[in-house]
Amino acid sequence: MRVREDDLGEVITVLKQISPQRVLEMRQQVEFLFNAYFRTIKDITLTTLQIINDRVFPYAGRKYEEWNDFHRPVSYSLSVLN
């Protein structure tokens, strides 16, 4: 969710307009991202290495959807380490 600086005075109004279903979806997405990439130091390290790998080998890198779709299982394939 993004709010422009000019609209900061309207944040409460904007937030109240979000449906409960959308709030639930956003919470589930945040929970997925935290559990997949930030829960432990190991997860943070593997995520960092995967990002580096995607930058070094862009043809084999993950797409945006693969990083952020919480319906997919999380797996790490670090070809830079192989």
Distance CA 35, CA 75 (A): 13
Cα–Cα distance measured from residue 41 to residue 62, given in angstroms and rounded to the nearest whole number: 21
The per-residue pLDDT for 81 is 44
- Confidence grade of residue 71 (pLDDT, cut at 50, 70, 90): low
Decide if 3 contacts 11 (C-beta within 8 A): yes
Mean of the per-residue pLDDT values for the chain? 81
Domains: count for the chain: 1
pLDDT in tens, 49-68: 989 988 898 888 878 777 77
pTM metric for this prediction: 0.60
- Domain that includes residue 62, residue range: 5-68
For residue 77, being part of any structural domain is answered with no
Query: Rounded CA gap, 11 and 18, in Å?
Result: 11
Mind listing the pLDDT tens digit for each residue in 33-44? 899 899 999 999
